[in-house]
Structures are given as structure tokens and as C-alpha cells.
A and B are shown apart, each in its own frame.
Chain A
Amino acid sequence: MAVVFEKTKMLTDAEFHYCPGCTHGVIHRLVAEVIDEMGLQEKAVGIAPVGCAVFAYNYFNCDMFEAAHGRAPAVATGIKRARTDACVFTYQGDGDLASIGTAEIVHAAHRGEKITTIFVNNAIYGMTGGQMAPTTLVGQKTTTSPYGRDEAWCGKPLRVSEMLATIEGSAYIERVALNNNANIIRAKKAIRKAFECQMSGKGFSMIEILSTCPTNWGLSPVEAMKWLEDNMIPYYPLGVFKDKTKEGE
């Protein structure tokens, strides 16, 4: 019988622990497929965050590190400096990257660190059970913003891609979403571009992926996707914010 589909060998056979409707599973597969298709499995080193993807080291079938909360870009720096030919990626959520790890991500970009960051933005702390993140939208209810995020008290949500795009060392920054098949295909292309950017030594690359958290948003998976389209995309516009990949060609 002809094989029409095979799971990428960049994913282990371990069963994902993610909630139903969560987009982490899709993102894992996209990242794994890109690394596999680029023939980088042997060179790949991934860094799992603290957050919902904390067990990513069980899923990505390559050398893996688990980092302290927010520190993945610093850990990635140490690895990449020790093994300059490695393909190093961090996989981080919005609590990890946009809150406790802001110094590490900003300075990895600032140094033009040749690493790739997969930034999963679902506007909430998932693993700890739905607390407010720096990316939580104004008015959004979470377990620590039970009356909705108050702009006067907590400010407006942080747009990380736009911020990092202003840094000279960043080479490729794009924000994508997983709300339909066309966008999933776009997301995969973006991830590939980010890894190509790293492997050609252009500098720091990050793909921000707008993602759903049906469990902590208190919505069904379908409603969550709609909420992402109606609320997240207007505040977090999709697109390429930085592209230095054409330079020097």
C-alpha cells in the first residue's frame, strides 16, 4: 500500500498532554516538520519553557533542554555559542517570554543571536490556570483580572513582535495565527523562513503565533478560534515586522 502520510520523525511517539482545542499540538507539528524537511534534526537543539509547553522535551525528537522560567533565550545563547553549527530554537509562551523573560528575549535579539524563537501568544497564563499575562487584552477576564484587565491599573498589552522589530539585531520577525488552514500554511512558511534565517547566519528570528486557550478562556475550541479572530488579530495584526533575509543576497 502506498504511504500517503507519515508523521514527522522530529516528533516522538509520546502523547501530547495539551487540552482539547489547544493549538500547541499544531505548532509542535509545524516546527517539527520544518526542522525535518530542512534536514536539521541532527543539529537541532530545542529549549522548552516553563508554561504549558514545559514537556516539549518529551515531544521534539532531538537534543532538548528545559529552561528556567523566561530564561530560554539565555540558555539558547550558551548552546549556540558552544556549538555554532547547531540549529537552536526556543519554544516559549507569553508569560515566559513577554513577562518574566523580557530581558533575555530583548538581549538575545539585541546581540543578533543566531537562534529561532517560537513565541506562542494566547493572551493568558495557561499552565497555572488562566492568570493575566502582559499580553492579556484590555477587558479580558482572567483569574487575576476577574473584573477584566483594567488599562488604568495594568496598562495595555505588550506587542512583542513590534518591539523586537525595532532592535537592530533581529533579522526576521513575523506574527501569524492558526485560525484557518490558509493561515496554518502561512505559519509553517514563516517558521521555515525563521530557521533559514538562523542557519544562514543572518541573526535573531522569531515567529509569534496567535494561539487559543479554550480551557482558560472558558470557550469551546470553535468559539475560541472565533474569539481569537475577533479580539486578538485586531490588536495583534498579522504580518512581517522585520525581514533582513534579503540583505546581502
Chain B
Amino acid sequence: MAQTLMKGNEAIAEAAIRAGCRFFFGYPITPQTEIPEYMSARMPELGGCYLQAESEVAAINMVYGAAGSGVRVMTSSSSPGVSLKQEGISYIAGSELPCVIINVMRGGPGLGSIQASQGDYFQATKGGGHGDYRMIVLAPASVQEAIDLMGDAFDLADKYRNPAMLLADGIIGQMMEPVELPEMKEYVVDPEKKPWAATGWKPGDKKPRAVVNSLYITTEELTELNERLQARYAEIEKNEVRYEAYNLEGAELVVTAYGTIARICKSAIDELKQEGINVGLIRPITLWPFPKNAVRDAVMADGVKGCLTVELSAGQMVEDVRLAVNGAKPVEFLGHAGSLLPTAEEIKEKLKSMREE
């Protein structure tokens, strides 16, 4: 299939449509606005629904309503807007509904900047809203991978009745790369497959009427919900961990990084290889479930001195890396909060200094 040159945000939108998503509720915010813009043009062509909500709060609640009706639905935003969605995400998780949320991250805290960032790792992976819930979090490192992960995000959300997030830094949203798009898929709501969905009910129907709800007023009922959710999260952790391993063979150090930053790390690793220094990379693709075993095994391998985590933040994923390594070897951090990109040169210097320690 021929490749086309596409901007990340537009590619993400088209990939969602090709995964069968026909319902989009959103609100403009830089640097993801091309997603709603694209959807507003494309959805009417397909008989789908693009609706600009009055706020991100309303948008995520519209997603809740549509998701409870069984359709494939998504919203997109950027960091401050995603903060506003946290209430709704908690309700969606508690009501066991599938949907997809895009966060094209910008700098924070507060209004921050409109430059790229990875400052929302905690919010995405640790539960940004209230209560014990998890989101499946997918982190692309290229526009093509963002496209590929969109289909997975909808499938995983449906499979586990759980919200899935595509967590992209602003660079993924804004850059253009040559891509291949998947075939168009039509998604038809099947009440047999989604018996919990509100698709219409009358007395005498075989299935009970739908009650889309996260209120469980007794401790027994709420415990049951939470046990069901935790069992599901354990299944996801068992089945859905994804990562890329790069140049681990004979590595003296291991780098962990995700998204665009992992590509800068790869450049640093390739350049070091020219100098005869072997450094490996573990790039988590699922940030939750976190590839803790892969990270641990890579860092604990014979000959590996330690680990460097590189992020476009003050250091968030590094906490999960440290949990995986559990103090057995040094885990150092290199990163910047404030959207200043780490350079390959900077990463190389840091790795060289770790080698000499």
C-alpha cells in the first residue's frame, strides 16, 4: 500500500475512524486541535457524529452516554483539558464502559505551555481521577505507531470494558511522517456482544434492562465491583504488556524511555555504538500495564551496570522503573520539565559518565 504524508493529529483521527469510531465529542485545545478539526470534516461524510462540547467536562460525559449505548466513541484533548476529564474517566471506569481518550501532552503544571511534554504520565497511569481504577495507556513513538495503536485502543477498550488512552507527546501530534493507513472498518453495535449496553428494552426481553452506573451503595456491593475491576486489571497486566527492546545484546547500560524521547535515545545509542559503547533500550508501549518484567530483566542482565530513564518531565516513569529494578542496580534520571527537549549529545554524555562511575 502506498504511503501518504500525514500530520500526527490527523492520522490519529483517521485511524480512529478506520477502527469503526463514528462518535467524537471534544473541545479545542492546542496542540491537539487538528483532531476535532479533522473529525468535524470527516464524520459528516461517513454519517458519523462530531459534536463540539461546551467543555471537556461535558465532552467526556457525552462519551459516557454514547459508550453506554454501545458505540465506538472517543474524545481528545491536551493536558489541561484532560485534567477536566478526570471526573468522567473515573465514572466511565467505574461503570465498566469502553471508550478511547487521546491526550496530546503539553507542558504544565497549570496552563503551562503549548510545547510538547510527558508531564501527564502520573495522571494517565496512576489514576488521575478518584477511586481505584486503571486505564490502558498506549504511548506511540511515531505517527505510524499512533495509527496502529488506535485500532488496538478500541479493541482493548471493548475487550476489557475499560477506558483506553493514547498518550502522545505534542511532537507526535504535530509532526508529519509517511504512513500507511489500515482498511476502513464499520462497527455495528451487537447487543449479544454488549449485553450491558442501553440499546432498548421492554418487559419480557431475555436480557435485563441496562443500568449504566457506578454507584454501589453498600460496602458489599462496592467491594464486589472493586474485586471485579482488580481481577480485570490483573488480566490486562498478564495479557497486554507491550514494549520495544532495542540493542540489549551485550549492553553495559540500559535506557528506558517512551514516545518521541525514545527516538532521541535511539540516536544516542546508535552514535555510542559507533564509538564502541553498547547501550540497550526498553521502550514501553503500554505505560499501563507497565512492562516491569522486561525492564527488570534487561537491567538485571549480566554485564549491565545500571539504567538511565529519560523523560520530557521532571521524572515520572522513572518511579516505575525503580520499582521494577527494586534497588538492585542504580537507576538514574535525565529529563527536563518545561518542554526543553533532551538532546542525543546530552544523553550520550550522561551515559558515558554513568559508565565511568
Chain A residues proximal to chain B, CB less than 8 Å: 9, 41-43, 45, 47, 54-55, 57, 61-68, 71, 74-83, 86, 103-104, 106-107, 110-111
Q: Do A71 and B58 touch (CB < 8 A)?
A: yes
A31 shortest CB reach to chain B, Å: 16
Contacts of A76 in B (CB 8 A): 65
Q: Do B25 and A78 touch (CB < 8 A)?
A: yes
A37 shortest CB reach to chain B, Å: 15
Q: Do A74 and B61 touch (CB < 8 A)?
A: yes
CA of A107 to CA of B51, assembled, Å: 12
Residue in chain A with minimal CB distance to B217: A55
A60 shortest CB reach to chain B, Å: 9
Using a Cβ cutoff of 8 Å, how many contacts connect chains A and B? 127
Contacts of A74 in B (CB 8 A): 53, 57-59, 61-62, 64-65
A96 shortest CB reach to chain B, Å: 13
Q: Do B58 and A81 touch (CB < 8 A)?
A: no
- Residue B276 is within 8 A (CB to CB) of chain A in the complex: no
CA of A106 to CA of B57, assembled, Å: 14
Q: Do B211 and A71 touch (CB < 8 A)?
A: no
Q: Do B73 and A78 touch (CB < 8 A)?
A: yes
Q: Which of B173-181, B200-208, B326-334, B338-346 makes up part of the contact surface?
A: B200-208
Q: Do B198 and A54 touch (CB < 8 A)?
A: no
- Residue B5 is within 8 A (CB to CB) of chain A in the complex: no
**A interface, by DSSP: helix, strand, loop or mixed?**
helix
Q: Do B61 and A75 touch (CB < 8 A)?
A: yes
Q: Do A82 and B66 touch (CB < 8 A)?
A: yes
CA of A235 to CA of B9, assembled, Å: 51
Interface size on B, residues (CB 8 A): 39
Contacts of A43 in B (CB 8 A): 200
CA of A107 to CA of B210, assembled, Å: 27
Would you mind naming 6 contact pairs between A and B with Cβ atoms under 8 Å apart?
Answer: A64-B211, A66-B212, A71-B58, A78-B68, A104-B58, A110-B54
Residue in chain B with minimal CB distance to A48: B213
Partner of A63 from B25, B53, B198, B214 at Cβ < 8 Å: B198
Q: Do B61 and A68 touch (CB < 8 A)?
A: yes
Q: Binary interface profile of B, 124-155, with partner A (CB < 8 Å = 1, else 0)?
A: 00000000000000000000000000000000
CA of A82 to CA of B199, assembled, Å: 10
- Residue B49 is within 8 A (CB to CB) of chain A in the complex: yes
Contacts of A64 in B (CB 8 A): 198, 209-213
CA of A76 to CA of B63, assembled, Å: 10
Q: Do B54 and A66 touch (CB < 8 A)?
A: no
Q: Do A54 and B215 touch (CB < 8 A)?
A: yes
CA of A74 to CA of B49, assembled, Å: 15
8 nearest A-B residue pairs (beta carbon): A78-B65, A74-B61, A78-B62, A63-B198, A107-B54, A78-B66, A75-B65, A82-B69
B96 shortest CB reach to chain A, Å: 13
CA of A83 to CA of B73, assembled, Å: 13
Partner of A104 from B51, B54, B212 at Cβ < 8 Å: B54
Q: Binary interface profile of B, 71-82, with partner A (CB < 8 Å = 1, else 0)?
A: 101000000000
CA of A78 to CA of B308, assembled, Å: 44
Q: Do A42 and B202 touch (CB < 8 A)?
A: yes
Q: Do B214 and A66 touch (CB < 8 A)?
A: yes
Contacts of A61 in B (CB 8 A): 203, 209
